[in-house]
Amino acid sequence: MFHLPYGKTTIPLSVPESLPVDIITYRADQTEEKQLSSRNRILKALSQPIRSPRLSELAAGRHSAVIIISDGTRLSPSHLLLPPLLEELNQAGIPDPSIDIIIALGMHRKHTREEMEQLVGPAVYKRIRVHNHSAAAEDCIRLGTTSFGTPIEINRLAVKADLRIATGNMEPHALAGISGGIKAVVPGIASRRCIEHNHSLSQQFKAVPGHPDNPIHQDMEEALRFITVDFMLNVVVDHEKHVLEAAAGHITAAHQALISQAASRFVVPVKQTYDLTVVSPGGHPKDLQLYQAIKALRNASALTRTGGTIIMAAECPEMFGNGIFQFWVETMKDRQTMVDQLKREFQLGAHKILHLDEVLTQQRVYLYSALPRPIVELLGLLPVDDIQAAFTESISGQGKSIALMPYGSLTYPQLP
């Protein structure tokens, strides 16, 4: 019996013992994890910053600080990262009332007070002001324009702070190559105009997951010409937010130090493509909404043969996860019309339709989720009420090659 992550629980999937199945997943190194706790890895990174003084030294003489954290769709364990950062700031003489935490929403939805408290931890929530980032132009300050033409407009509170600290987790990213680092700022606390222009570069340039050497990431890093990030703390985590690696210090140098570790864990060599791939984004929060779950679908598509089948189990209790995405799917004539229009004029949010189209032109996709059947069908997917029955039907016939991807959002297949 195989158990697929689904929301905050799992779904059983019975796989005949006689059936050869390959489990494709990232490398978590559970044994290593037990030898050194998440907290110890974080503290070690903070005590040995890369190309930077300790945060307590950097913060000396500063009057205010902003800490940028990831939102709830990410696996970054902010509740573990914040207490030691606050301790260093307090040691430097910056009191709690002079510190603000900004949730790097980019264009994701706002968090409720309860979600904010869960994100940072109850003790920190009682001490420090926590803000949802607003990507509205009036809530950001225009600082300049990159060589790619992206307007760098950054959260007003962050711009005005004496000290800026970026946090986050690192994993491969289909658009930027790798997450973490500068992504806390662009797109994390940037304006809509900034994010949309940067993301529109994906129409011209393609990134290789695990590698930041691409124009889209370079455009993000050009923001550092206009605004400094004084200190960074990034981690590599597993699907349960256990810290596997950590690095702190200079934003580009410390980020660079973790790239190979992140790539080696999440970019997974595979020898073949498969007739059938069963994938889960990895459960909550990776399947919180379709907007996020599509990442796992693209990874599954990469190891499924053209004309093959994908079965995805993704709860998606927040449905689309983006109003623009939803509006296009529910009102536009058909998918080809949407694709043609997006190729003429990129629109943030609706761009997920391009990602979906990449898969649907290659494979048939069945979706087991909480989404209403009409919505699934409008997306061009095949709704599934019984995932076991869908699997059993899909494996009928002889000689089928089958892959199971339990953590599809963290597993980036690499073919020869």
Q: Are strands 267-269 and 412-414 parallel, antiparallel or unpaired?
A: parallel
Q: How many helices (H) and strands (E) does the chain have?
A: 16, 20
Q: What angle do CA 173, 175, 180 make, to 5 degrees?
A: 45
- Give me 93's structure tokens: 């003489």
Question: Residue for token digits 């990159």?
Answer: 146
Q: What angle do CA 115, 132, 230 make, to 5 degrees?
A: 115
- Nearest residue to 83 via CA among 186, 208, 167: 167
Q: What angle do CA 362, 404, 305 make, to 5 degrees?
A: 25
Asked if 155 and 140 count as a contact pair (C-beta separation under 8 A), the reply is: yes
Q: What angle do CA 101, 106, 111 make, to 5 degrees?
A: 55
Q: Which of 79, 108, 217, 239 is catalytic?
A: 108
Q: Which of 79, 111, 173, 242 is catalytic?
A: 173
Our answer to whether residue 173 is catalytic in this structure is yes
Q: How far apart are CA 16 and CA 153, in angstroms?
A: 55
Our answer to whether residue 284 is catalytic in this structure is no
Q: How far apart are CA 126 and CA 93, in angstroms?
A: 19
- Please, what is the end-to-end C-alpha distance for the chain in angstroms? 31
Asked if 346 and 200 count as a contact pair (C-beta separation under 8 A), the reply is: yes
Q: Give me the count of residues in the chain.
A: 416
In the DSSP assignment, the letter for residue 281 is -
What SS3 state is found at 291? helix
Peptide bond before 285: cis, by omega within 30 degrees of 0? yes
What SS3 state is found at 105? coil
Provide DSSP, 304-324.
Answer: EEEEEEEEEE---TTTTS-HH
Q: Are strands 140-145 and 151-155 parallel, antiparallel or unpaired?
A: antiparallel
Q: Which residues are catalytic?
A: 108, 173
